[in-house]
Amino acid sequence: MNALLLKFLLIIAVLQLSSCAQMGVKPWVKPYERQKLSDPIMNKNRHVIANKHAAHVFEARESARGVEGVGGGGCGCN
Amino acid sequence: MVVIKRVPSKMKPLSFFMIIILMAHSLNLHAAVLEADKADVLYHSYEGGGMKIDGPAFLLRKKVNESIALSAFYYVDTISSASVDVLSNASPYTEERQEGSLGLEYLHDKTVLSFAIGQSDEDDFLAKSLSFNLSHDTFGDLTNVNLGISYGDNDVMRNGDENFLEKSKQYRVRTGLNQILTPTLTAGINIEGVVDEGYLNNPYRTVRYLDPTSDAGFGSQTEVYPNTRNSFAVKLSTSYYLPYRAALFGHYRYFTDSWDIEAHEMEVTYRHPFGENFLLELKYRTYQQTQANFYSDLFSHKDAQNFLARDKELSDFDDVTIGLGLTYKIPKQFFFNGMISEATLQWDHITFDYHNFRDRTLDAPIGEEPLYGFNADVIRAFMSVYF
Amino acid sequence: MFTRLNHTSKYYVTPLIQGVLLVSIVFTLMIFTSNKSSAAGLVNTTAPDFTLKSLSGENLNLNEQRGNITVINFWASWCGPCRKEMPILQNFHDKYTDLGVQVWGINVEQENQAGRDFISKVKVDFPILFDEKNTLSALYQVDAMPTTVIVDRSGQVRYVFRGYKDGYEKKYAKAIKKLIRE
């Protein structure tokens, strides 16, 4: 994947969002409409301790690392 | 090939901290909230491929005041192994690994700064790590931006060889954006770059090469890895609240590195509450990767390449996981002080399928042994208490 | 054969760091120039009139409260700070009712069974109104949870508090006392 291309995509995404705020695009989901999103079942990191273990199980056996979503830590699983 | 100008190394940490200070002084008045206090006690177990690893883990979170929270994590792996790597080279062994970390979170307006310091300790490996993360809510709290860096310092030793000590370092940089799209849908993109430097291989592992002159028909030599590894990963994720009370999560992760490994991961999770007290979770995950460019199950002769590896973790393989989890909210009357607590049991079944790593322990002509594959069962049983 | 393993190359990470810095700068600019809250824009204007049915069954109308000070609190049972604030509002009701202060709790949940369950457990003495369709929340430009709007005796919005943190009760008390003395 071309790192430069990705950088451009990121900048464009951010500029879109910032120009949204400038052009008066208001947040379209109001704070009082957040009932479903704030339901505990919608919290992916509800069981942090379990997610850390699951990430560790895979990190020790697969080459991929990065963006695990839970604090990755050195473990010496080489 | 694009020429990329390097940012002067002195600039990087300075700019980073300047930006953090700027972001921390946001003009917005409405605050986000730190997570609730909780304590977790977990028992974990992994069994598969001749390895059994189990042990406890503990996690504690406590708010000091409305702005500061502290956390502590402790984890133990007790490893007894007779895995295919071990049986090929040595005898079964038992080992223990301990890991601990401390964290601090600081909330200011809509920004959370978090720091963590950690250490992982075993007989022949000492890993220290430091990480910093910044998370900021903006645009009516619909958008969350995060930035983070980590640093790791490792000491690699070798059992039975007192004089052996090698070092390696790891640097990570990450950023991401999470967006609420509708009252029931969110999406996110996260990217992370990792750089490893130093002694990156395993001091016990060897590679094999064809050697018609030897009795066994093959010879062994210690693996040789490059002393740098640069990688890049991107994750696209989403969460969705179904028309009835249930949640669906999905993510796709792409990984690539300077050893030519390319990996794709995809995971889908479904959460369904039953009645007042039960929550069921179903998970499906697939992972596939291509091999490192210096990997081979069997080299043609000794010193065939500058870099040599026969680590199955660097081979061409895929794995599939199906997972099941059940959480039970313990009714207040059965728990001390009426505190909110829940008990969870999770089971993951993983199938590993190697496409170019062979099981040397099996009897067959060299290089024609069956391709290796195994199943593993992971169990997590834990209790969470909110106070 | 295996070239491309450039030991000095940070091929992926340097542009990534540059990208991260650029993203940070743009976001920082965004923060400093983003829209100010619109609920605060109601201060010193006439409070929009409304009529809603309360938990006890009676209809309550804002304009009929002229002569009294009205504390309008927008809350939801799923919002932690809102739940924390409830006892505070009950205290204000107890302390200031005789001095002409009305506290109204407006539940903003679209599906409000959880809200009703919460109130039946917590039991407050002040009226709880239900804004299921969120017409009132939109009218008052609620952009934070909870939001507390204090309306003076002549029907003017004088204070808007967005969110709730420990210590806000002192701000509420100060505001109410000032309006009582007017």
pLDDT in tens, B164-213: 999 999 999 999 999 999 999 999 999 999 999 999 999 999 999 999 99
Computed on alpha carbons and rounded to an integer, the radius of gyration of chain C in Å comes to 23
Given an 8 Å threshold on Cβ–Cβ distance, is A73 in contact with B271?
Answer: no
Are B253 and A64 a contacting pair, CB within 8 Å? yes
Residue of C nearest to B198 (CA): C7
The answer to whether residue A18 scores a pLDDT higher than 60 is: no
Distance CA B353, CA B373 (A): 5
Task: Tell me the shortest Cα–Cα distance from C58 to chain B, in angstroms.
Answer: 31
Residue C28 has pLDDT above 80, yes or no: no
Cβ distance of A31 and B140 shorter than 8 Å? yes
Residue C131, CA atoms < 13 Å, CB-side half-sphere:
24
* Residue keyed to tokens 């604090």: A71
User: Which tens digits make up the pLDDT trace of C71-129?
Assistant: 999 999 999 899 989 999 999 999 999 999 999 999 999 988 999 999 998 889 999 99
With 80 as the cut, is the pLDDT of residue A49 above it?
yes
- Which stretches of chain B score pLDDT less than 70? 1-32, 82-91
**What is the pLDDT at residue C145?**
92
CB-CB under 8 Å, C27 with B230: no
**In this complex, do B227 and C37 lie within 8 Å of one another by their Cβ atoms?**
no
Mean of pLDDT over chain C? 84
Which amino acid is residue B320, in one-letter code? V
Rounded to the nearest angstrom, the minimum Cα separation between B305 and chain A is 21
Percent of chain C with pLDDT over 90: 63
> Where are the extended beta strands (E) located within B67-124?
68-81, 93-108, 111-122
Cβ separation A11–C23 shorter than 8 A:
yes
Distance from CA of B196 to the nearest CA of A (A): 11
| Predicted local distance difference test score (pLDDT) of residue B20 | 41
The whole-number pLDDT of residue C166 equals 84
Pairs from A4-11 (Cβ < 8 Å, separation ≥ 24):
A4/B2, A4/B4, A4/C15, A6/B191, A6/B234, A6/C15, A6/C19, A7/C15, A7/C16, A7/C18, A7/C19, A7/C22, A10/B175, A10/B191, A10/C19, A10/C22, A10/C23, A11/C19, A11/C22, A11/C23, A11/C26
| pLDDT at residue number C73 | 96
C15's tokens:
């542009």
How is residue B387 annotated by DSSP?
A: -
What local confidence, expressed as pLDDT, does residue A66 receive? Answer: 92
| Between A11 and B307, residue with greater pLDDT | B307
- Look at residue B91 in the predicted model and tell me its pLDDT: 67
Residue recorded with tokens 């920082």: C28
Q: Is the pLDDT of residue A1 over 50?
A: no
Shortest CB distance from B233 goes to which of A3, A10, A66?
A: A66
What was the ipTM of the complex prediction?
0.89
Beta-carbon contacts of residue A55 (< 8 Å; ≥ 6 apart): A68, A69, A70, A72
If we measure between CA atoms, which residue out of B347, B324, B343 comes closest to residue B40? B343
Cα C24 from Cα B140, distance rounded (Å): 18
Show Cβ contacts of residue C148 under 8 Å, excluding neighbours closer than 6 positions: C71, C72, C73, C74, C85, C159, C160, C161, C164, C172
Give B306's contacts in chain C (Cβ within 8 Å): 2
Choose between C7 and B248: higher pLDDT: B248
Tell me if A6 and C19 make a contact (CB, 8 A cut-off): yes
| Minimal CA separation from C9 to chain A, in Å | 13
Looking at chain C, the whole-number percentage of residues with pLDDT higher than 70 is: 79
